Every structure is written in structure tokens, then in C-alpha cells.
Amino acid sequence: MTSLIGEYDCKVDAKGRFMFPIDLKRQLELAFDKGFVINRNLHQKCLVLYPISEWEKLNKKLSKLNRLIKANDVFVRKFSGGATNTLPDSSGRILLPKSLSDYANIQSDIKVLGSNNVIEIWDKKVYEEFLSQDIDIEKLAIDVMGGLNFNLGEDE
């Protein structure tokens, strides 16, 4: 799958659905019709929409954890507890489960973001608050990516 990019303004209707952005649908190609798993983000008050193929890769790794170890068991339960399968309807809308919408404080206006291999869904005001945080992006870039060698070939 290609790396998903873009930031889109959408609205949630009275039934908790939003019209999936056409540009993201094009980026997903055939994966769009296969459906998604939607869940809470671990670090922010937003939702993550996993294309089924991405969820299956992640779930395969989770299934290797020894659930007899308490920390593993608690993590898997906390992480996957809210996960919900969702398919786009015939109009291309995605339903946001109420419990997950409540978790992310989603009202009417949302931001839908292509975020590499997943899609993030934010309440617009919560997203704007996140963006306005005073974060030293240069220091963060060094901390996160400083050890990577960008001169290596794609396969290395």
C-alpha cells in the first residue's frame, strides 16, 4: 500500500457517519472496499482507521504475545478492546462507533489525516489544540530521526 497523506475537513452527520475523502479513497485503491478496523489512538484523543491489511499485520504481531504474562494480557485487552470492524456504505460513508467518538470528543467537524499506513480521525478543535502545542519540532526530528542514514538505498 502507498503511504497515505493529506489532511481533510469532514463533517459527521447525526447518525455518526462521515463522507470518506475521495483523495484518500484513491490512495487506498482496492483496499477501501475491503473495509477497516477503527480504534482509539494510544497517545492522543483521536481515532485510528486501519485498512484491513494493516490491522491484520498488527494483529499477527499481537497474537505472538504470551497472554499468560499479565502486562501482555493487559496491553492486548486495552489496545484491542475498542477495535471495531467497519465497512464503507454504498455512498462511501464510514460509521464512527459512539463509544469511540465519545473517547475522541468527536462532535461535528473533524479532521481526517493520511498518516503513513493508517488514517487518523480527530475532532477539529482537539486537532487544532494539538497543533498549537509548543513543541520543538527540530529537537523532536533529531530525537526521532537523527540516527537514520538517509543516504542509504531504499532497500537498506
In 44-134, the DSSP E strands lie at 47-51, 84-86, 93-95, 109-115, 118-123
Q: What is the mean pLDDT of the segment spanning 62-71? A: 95
**Cα dihedral sign, 52-144-41-70:** positive
**What count of other Cβ atoms lies within 10 Å of the Cβ of residue 55?**
22
The pTM (predicted TM-score) of the whole model is 0.89
Residues in Cβ contact with 148 at an 8 Å cutoff, skipping those fewer than 6 apart: none
Query: Rounded to an integer, what distance in angstroms lies between the CA atom of residue 121 and that of residue 111?
Result: 6
Domain assignments of the chain as residue spans, ordered by start = 7-145
Residues in Cβ contact with 118 at an 8 Å cutoff, skipping those fewer than 6 apart: 4, 48, 49, 50, 51, 54
Give the pLDDT confidence of 70-107 residue by residue, as tens digits.
Answer: 999 999 999 998 999 999 999 999 999 999 999 999 99
Residue 152 has pLDDT above 90, yes or no: no
CATH pick for 7-145 out of 3.40.50.10860, 3.90.650.10, 3.40.1550.20, 3.40.50.720: 3.40.1550.20
Percent of the chain predicted with pLDDT > 90: 81
- pLDDT the model gives residue 1: 61
Rg (CA), the chain: 17
User: Rounded to the nearest 5°, which phi and psi values hold at 128?
Assistant: -60, -40
Give the pLDDT confidence of 32-61 residue by residue, as tens digits.
Answer: 999 999 999 999 999 999 999 999 999 999
Nearest alpha carbon to residue 49 among 36, 64, 60: 36
